[in-house]
Amino acid sequence: MRSTQTSVTFPLSAIKPLDQLLTYRAYCVARTRQACGGSVKRRERCPADGVRLESFGDVEGLTYARCPQDGSLWLAALPEPVLWADLLARVSRYRHSSSAFHAELTQSRTDHVYAPKLEWIQDTLRLQQMGHPAVLEAVSPPSSFTSLLKDSGLCSTVVTVDEMALAHSPGRSAAAQRVQAAVLLESLDRVDDPEALLRGVDERLAPGGLLFVTALVSSGFDVATLGLQNRYLYPPDRTNCLSLQGLSALIAKMGFVLLEVSTPGVLDLEVVQAHLQQDPDMAVSVFERQLVEAGEETRMAFQTFLQERGLSSFARVVGRKPG
């Protein structure tokens, strides 16, 4: 298995500035409350390792549970899948509208969010000596990544599939075209049943096929430091915030062989710093405050350390379906 670190740097403002995020976040939270307003089902056990979840706390009145074994965070109660699918679709459309901050940062996000992911997929395909695979992207459409994938020339075809449909219509999915690679960009963070989504992906993947997953992980520095104070932790985008251990365990449990588990994030310290600038009284330890306020060299060295040791909050995982 391999892990990767990177020397790429860019500011938080280039992809998800905290001040602009808050409006989008408020929309997401309001729509989630609406979706969860009726009948909901509580999540009792951690999908990654089966351990009984314990209560962790609320984000804007929405309760998160925590796995005591691996530290993964789960939105504690969810409505019927059809309602959740509708929520994800609405949020995705909003994200791609002119009302969300993403619209102003389209080029910057392409350069700093999507292009590196494309390069990661390209390099991995080369390392695995897989040329021009048929690729499935699981997402709640629309997706900014689909056109990039298509234009890259990396793939023979790109099939964009609704992530909730893939999770909840396994029969229909099994009858569809087999692919050699599947891409789940933060998809496991959003869907109501990550285990079912991985099962759906597995059905579509040919033996030997590759699974690409990115996720925000609770074991990373900024999420671990800020906990539920972290403004980047909200449903439905972060309905599930697995730890790196939990994410790896879940993917392995679904039968994938792990080829890469990395946390090449570059923004952990800056995320904490942005929160402290917005709320100077936020509860963080003296040591954490020292780190965040340290000189550029110290901050960069620490971020490199987080990457190298799997302790950043941005995770990448590559799995291979056996066979």
Task: Kindly state the tokens that stand for 77.
Answer: 């109660």
Q: Which is nearer to another protein, 5 or 180 (CB)?
A: 5
Task: Kindly state the tokens that stand for 177.
Answer: 């075209």
Greatest pairwise CA separation for the chain in angstroms: 56
Element (H, E) at 162: strand 157-162
Q: Which is nearer to another protein, 160 or 307 (CB)?
A: 307
The radius of gyration of the chain's CA atoms, rounded to the nearest angstrom, is 19
Q: Which is nearer to another protein, 3 or 20 (CB)?
A: 3
Element (H, E) at 120: helix 115-127
Residues 6+ apart with CB under 8 A from 203: 170, 173, 174
Q: Which is nearer to another protein, 3 or 169 (CB)?
A: 3
Task: Print the SS3 string covering 193-221.
Answer: CHHHHHHHHHHHEEEEEEEEEEEECCCCH
Q: How far is the CB of 157 from another protein (least distance, A)?
A: 22
Q: How far is the CB of 215 from another protein (least distance, A)?
A: 19
Residues 6+ apart with CB under 8 A from 123: none
End-to-end CA distance of the chain: 17
Q: Which is nearer to another protein, 29 or 259 (CB)?
A: 259
Cα(256)–Cα(269) distance, rounded to whole angstroms?
32
Q: Which is nearer to another protein, 76 or 181 (CB)?
A: 181
For every residue of 220-278, DSSP letters joined together read SHHHHHHGGG-TT--TTTTSEE--HHHHHHHHHHTTPEEEEEE---S-HHHHHHHHHHH
Q: How far is the CB of 123 from another protein (least distance, A)?
A: 7
Q: How far is the CB of 262 from another protein (least distance, A)?
A: 8
Q: How far is the CB of 179 from another protein (least distance, A)?
A: 21
Residues 6+ apart with CB under 8 A from 224: 218, 313
Q: Which is nearer to another protein, 1 or 22 (CB)?
A: 1
Tokens 């992530």 sit on residue: 163
Q: How far is the CB of 10 from another protein (least distance, A)?
A: 11
Q: Using CB under 8 A as the criterion, which residues of the chain lie in contact with another protein when the complex forms?
A: 1-8, 122-123, 126-129, 264, 308
Q: How far is the CB of 129 from another protein (least distance, A)?
A: 6
Q: How far is the CB of 290 from another protein (least distance, A)?
A: 27
Q: Which is nearer to another protein, 7 or 98 (CB)?
A: 7
Beta bridge partners of 185: 214
Q: Which is nearer to another protein, 75 or 121 (CB)?
A: 121
Q: How far is the CB of 266 from another protein (least distance, A)?
A: 11
Cα(117)–Cα(148) distance, rounded to whole angstroms?
10
* Cα separations in angstroms, 266 against 11, 70, 214: 9, 23, 14
User: Crossing angle of helices 268-278/18-35, nearest 10°?
Assistant: 90
